[in-house]
Structure 1
């Protein structure tokens, strides 16, 4: 029979290949490459030759057997025999095309694949995928894309390998929009593998689809249960200022893992620029109701309690947190600095210094500025100055290592060294000011510019020495500020400090000029305008040099009040009342000063002086007498009280 003859030929070909003394190369084992369809009579003849299904089937079975035994070259020949015996078989044609492809015979693979794709039969996703790969190798992008899409549609996007291959193709042609769609399908099948997840996130940002990042991470969290993804989803919400949704996630937190800690800190960002009361309420709920005990939460709880004057509770929580914030030295140091402030507020100077030293230790010596200020607050001035002298010496003489030759890097290092030097100069000035105020507090009279009454007691030698020492400290502080301003002329906060110091030094004209320069400075927005306007205005009112200056000072106080939204500070209301008093509007002054909360200022000597003077001027003699008696209990040698009560029982 004819079919048997063909079979014998095939077997003989296989036997000859198997018995060859040298292994056959893949390309040599395959028949000559068919040319592209339409360009070769071989392809046309193949389409018209008669089928010999027996031979095709026998060759197919033996090809599978050869493949199983690892005889690839022999299998290749038999696959080709089978395809030639059954030229209408789509399956066999694609199998031979795959063989050509694997052997690196690209042109043959393209031609055979094109022929196979024209044959009848079931169109498989794998066949479309093969067509796509063939065109990728040939660099025909449009055709490759067409068959990738057909393959995905045929497999209903369930073939993970196909999706991955298509994604590689899309990466190559930089089709980011389509990549987003493919990764969206692929990610759930890979259980949101991190490399693909991060790539998808980057693509969403690059294509302007940031809002989808939230859903991406939330789906990953739902699929894997990993709280890292929930935290990242919340992070994306915060970046997009979707604060209500972010807080909704935070409300679900009941754990104490590092990711829970991250979400607590993210939640706090949603309260930025708002009042602190809701922040404290949130933190208390997470701590007391939900049992979240991460150090970060305890730390923020303590800070907010301190800022809202719940000092006892703040101390407990900050002491607990600062020992556990092992991965955040800056937060631990801030906890120590706050504990230091609490200690100083309670007159526990040694404790205050101890916590400042702990903060410096946590920051590996980078907390020397705060430590110097703590020593100054504890009135350990010699220790503070010794520390500051040492640090100024370090940074004024600092030079980079000789190995640094890059000019840009050298300039950067030198600029950083100069900045540190200025920080210690500023700290030195601050400690000098602390000492100056301490010395002034030890004198009987602390207002240098108040007209003295004839009955004022003479200043003692001790008071005179204290005043001179205070003046020396203030003058020395001014030298440090001037040195800093030579490097940072726009440092308007420092100019404000200098202006106030000039007042205390009695250099009034210089003070006025500096305040006027501050009010006209483009850097004014860096300051608290109501504070500046009130301080300057009140100073002019209190100096009482002439009516024009008092009226100008009063107008500044009114501007300070107008600039404040919400409740007006009692201190500025007091300034307004004192301005009205200086202008002779006594009844109005009394009405205004009675708006001040007396409980807040019951121990404030200046407020009581104002209240007594205004009451007396408005004809309220009995009330004035009571006020001045309170003042004498607070400061027994107050000249205004002594003068008013002279001769009174």
Structure 2
């Protein structure tokens, strides 16, 4: 150890003393070149030519390293180089020793001389040169020697590649860094830290296809499903839906990552018919045995939408409390269960699920709860809840600590939206009560006056919303329908004209807008041109659907328009395509069917339809008039 330290000190002193000698220009432009040894009297302390001594020291150094005597071995390496300074191997060995103890300038000087000596060029020598140029801040030469080292090692030296990657990060050569990470990742079994850096690089370079390949290789090498899920995510971003579905089709287990893949696969069905999406979900659930809560949730929601209520109930009821990752899913499942409970004529259960949805959302589901209470005819409870929430939000003030004006504006906008949502809910509950009164007390003038009062109160809430949000097209649509029910027809039609010409029409179910406005024109038939205009609007509603997919309610509207135009047979042909069982208790449908049959002289069918109509609407003047004349 003492010998090694003494040799290091002597060597450093010698090289410092040589610094006044003229420097020889080198291709790599190194700092403070050590003069060549031959004929250099100033290079003191090096006894050139005693090869036997050098060889003996070399043998001892090797032996000591094998026995773990590192300090003693270092001394022998120094001694061997002293007696054979023209050995490329020994010179680089000493340069590496100097580098290891922090004598960078000495190591650089020795390595520069060594690099011009004859002998076998090795990976470690190129690596040493790369590190020395890196410390000297000479990027081009650093890259040159890293590449030489990697080429010589055939890119099998993992540490060398990692060191090169750190250099590439420092010089921001992202393209080359991607190439090196591609080589390095398989050797590290796709360690997460490196994988994350490569993902960020590819994303920054917008190389989405390379990202897909990367996650695919990572999944194949590690078998980890999260890598496959990430691959599917990128495929979805690239809209490579056929590949997404092919991967989803292989899922037969019920891990968390399987749930992610299934949900991502559903995005590939966004523009597909609901029947196709439902078929996919049923196959995964029933055939492949995938039982993740997310799949069960989406299956239940779609089944509900497609009218498969019993199956939807089973799936949603079994999953609504299991969706811990996303409580909004659980809340939405409860809302669907609430709607189905109303369909089963169980309002108490419906309200219970609405309350559970509110609980899952930590009190953020009170709008739905209020409407559920109104639907259950618990009007006073609904109004009390809404009054309390309006009171809260009318008194709301932002915290004084918020000084940022942009943030303040966002917070105020959110608060205003909350207040408006409860105003709209209040209007909805008022309408629910009004409709209930109109349905059951049509002949009671006092009750009907109350219904009118409820509708006018709802209008006040909508006007308040419009005053703050004039572009709210949904509220305008609700107002237009309510005005028609209040028999304020001109105001209603003016509002409908505004809606159908609005650039925001796309925010609504335009088919419903066209059908409602068109049917009202057909039904009232107040002046010339109304029937043609109404039928044109109904046809616009029908054009929103694929052939044979239009709702029967819109077909009924068109049939009524054809009847108004005297096209009775066309009207009847269309009416006969409607599912009569679904409209057996609908007074408007029965009125239309009876009138069309009567116009065609189909007495038996007309009498049958008018008799059904009288059971629903006793005293209907058209029914009584027709049946009286047929006795």
Question: Is the Cα contact below 8 Å between 2:423 and 2:465 reproduced in 1?
Answer: yes
- CA distance in 2 between counterparts of 1:206 and 1:25 reads 51
Indicate how the Cα distance of structure 1 residues 71 and 32 shifts in structure 2: closer, same or farther if over 3 A, else same: farther
- CA distance in 2 between counterparts of 1:41 and 1:283 reads 78
Give the 3-state SS of the residue equivalent to 1:405 in structure 2.
coil
Deviation of 1:24 after TM superposition, in Å, equals 6.8
Name which of 474, 483, 487 aligns with 2:464: 483
- CA distance in 2 between counterparts of 1:280 and 1:45 reads 90
Show the counterpart of 1:636. 618
Deviation of 1:206 after TM superposition, in Å, equals 1.8
Alignment deviations for residues 167-223 of structure 1 (CA, whole Å, 9 cap, x no partner): 000001111111111001111111111010011111112223211112211211222
Indicate the larger mover: 348-357 or 593-602. 593-602
Show the counterpart of 1:504. 485
- CA distance in 1 between counterparts of 2:9 and 2:379 reads 91
Deviation of 1:583 after TM superposition, in Å, equals 3.1
Question: Is the Cα contact below 8 Å between 2:278 and 2:299 reproduced in 1?
Answer: yes
Alignment deviations for residues 430-457 of structure 1 (CA, whole Å, 9 cap, x no partner): 111111111111134xxxxxxxxxxxxx
Question: Is the Cα contact below 8 Å between 2:127 and 2:149 reproduced in 1?
Answer: yes
Gaps of 5+ in 1: 1-13, 445-458
Question: Is the Cα contact below 8 Å between 1:37 and 1:115 reproduced in 2?
Answer: no
Show the counterpart of 2:406. 408
Alignment deviations for residues 286-309 of structure 1 (CA, whole Å, 9 cap, x no partner): 222222222112212211211111
Show the counterpart of 1:450. none
- CA distance in 2 between counterparts of 1:355 and 1:28 reads 88
Indicate how the Cα distance of structure 1 residues 71 and 199 shifts in structure 2: closer, same or farther if over 3 A, else same: closer
Show the counterpart of 1:111. 109
Name which of 429, 432, 435 aligns with 2:433: 435
Question: Is the Cα contact below 8 Å between 2:339 and 2:350 reproduced in 1?
Answer: yes
Question: Is the Cα contact below 8 Å between 2:316 and 2:337 reproduced in 1?
Answer: yes
Show the counterpart of 2:543. 562
- CA distance in 1 between counterparts of 2:95 and 2:291 reads 64
Q: Does 1:192 align with 2:190?
A: yes
- CA distance in 2 between counterparts of 1:300 and 1:213 reads 29
Show the counterpart of 2:497. 516
Question: Is the Cα contact below 8 Å between 1:37 and 1:43 reproduced in 2?
Answer: no
Indicate how the Cα distance of structure 1 residues 223 and 512 shifts in structure 2: closer, same or farther if over 3 A, else same: same
Indicate how the Cα distance of structure 1 residues 614 and 42 shifts in structure 2: closer, same or farther if over 3 A, else same: closer
- CA distance in 2 between counterparts of 1:165 and 1:473 reads 77
Alignment deviations for residues 369-409 of structure 1 (CA, whole Å, 9 cap, x no partner): 11101100100000000000000111111112333333333
- CA distance in 2 between counterparts of 1:368 and 1:221 reads 44
Show the counterpart of 2:121. 123
Show the counterpart of 1:265. 263
Show the counterpart of 1:7. none
Q: Does 1:577 align with 2:555?
A: no
Question: Is the Cα contact below 8 Å between 1:253 and 1:292 reproduced in 2?
Answer: yes
- CA distance in 2 between counterparts of 1:40 and 1:529 reads 85
Indicate how the Cα distance of structure 1 residues 279 and 211 shifts in structure 2: closer, same or farther if over 3 A, else same: same
Show the counterpart of 1:9. none
- CA distance in 1 between counterparts of 2:38 and 2:467 reads 92
Indicate the larger mover: 383-392 or 503-512. 503-512
Name which of 523, 547, 560 aligns with 2:528: 547
Indicate how the Cα distance of structure 1 residues 317 and 375 shifts in structure 2: closer, same or farther if over 3 A, else same: same
- CA distance in 2 between counterparts of 1:281 and 1:622 reads 44
Q: Does 1:594 align with 2:576?
A: yes
Question: Is the Cα contact below 8 Å between 1:29 and 1:77 reproduced in 2?
Answer: no
Show the counterpart of 1:613. 595
Show the counterpart of 1:223. 221
Deviation of 1:564 after TM superposition, in Å, equals 3.2
Indicate how the Cα distance of structure 1 residues 44 and 490 shifts in structure 2: closer, same or farther if over 3 A, else same: farther
- CA distance in 2 between counterparts of 1:193 and 1:308 reads 46
Question: Is the Cα contact below 8 Å between 1:539 and 1:553 reproduced in 2?
Answer: yes
Indicate how the Cα distance of structure 1 residues 545 and 97 shifts in structure 2: closer, same or farther if over 3 A, else same: same
- CA distance in 1 between counterparts of 2:307 and 2:70 reads 85
Alignment deviations for residues 100-146 of structure 1 (CA, whole Å, 9 cap, x no partner): 32344433322321221222222111111111111111111111111
User: What is the TM-score of this pair, normalised by structure 1?
Assistant: 0.89
- CA distance in 2 between counterparts of 1:608 and 1:265 reads 44
Question: Is the Cα contact below 8 Å between 2:48 and 2:82 reproduced in 1?
Answer: no
Root mean square deviation, CA, Å: 2.4
- CA distance in 1 between counterparts of 2:565 and 2:205 reads 66
Matched positions, count: 613
- CA distance in 2 between counterparts of 1:630 and 1:59 reads 117
Show the counterpart of 1:455. none
- CA distance in 2 between counterparts of 1:231 and 1:194 reads 15
Deviation of 1:30 after TM superposition, in Å, equals 4.3
Indicate how the Cα distance of structure 1 residues 264 and 561 shifts in structure 2: closer, same or farther if over 3 A, else same: closer
Alignment deviations for residues 514-570 of structure 1 (CA, whole Å, 9 cap, x no partner): 111112211122223222122111111111211222222222223333343322332
Q: Does 1:147 align with 2:108?
A: no
Question: Is the Cα contact below 8 Å between 2:34 and 2:110 reproduced in 1?
Answer: no
- CA distance in 1 between counterparts of 2:604 and 2:123 reads 103
- CA distance in 2 between counterparts of 1:641 and 1:112 reads 114
Question: Is the Cα contact below 8 Å between 1:31 and 1:80 reproduced in 2?
Answer: no
Question: Is the Cα contact below 8 Å between 1:57 and 1:82 reproduced in 2?
Answer: yes
Q: Does 1:354 align with 2:352?
A: yes
- CA distance in 2 between counterparts of 1:70 and 1:31 reads 27
Question: Is the Cα contact below 8 Å between 1:37 and 1:114 reproduced in 2?
Answer: no
Question: Is the Cα contact below 8 Å between 1:254 and 1:286 reproduced in 2?
Answer: yes
- CA distance in 1 between counterparts of 2:274 and 2:234 reads 24
Indicate how the Cα distance of structure 1 residues 631 and 71 shifts in structure 2: closer, same or farther if over 3 A, else same: closer
Deviation of 1:647 after TM superposition, in Å, equals 4.8
Question: Is the Cα contact below 8 Å between 2:34 and 2:109 reproduced in 1?
Answer: no
Question: Is the Cα contact below 8 Å between 2:12 and 2:106 reproduced in 1?
Answer: no
- CA distance in 1 between counterparts of 2:218 and 2:35 reads 56
Deviation of 1:155 after TM superposition, in Å, equals 0.7
Give the 3-state SS of the residue equivalent to 1:318 in structure 2.
helix
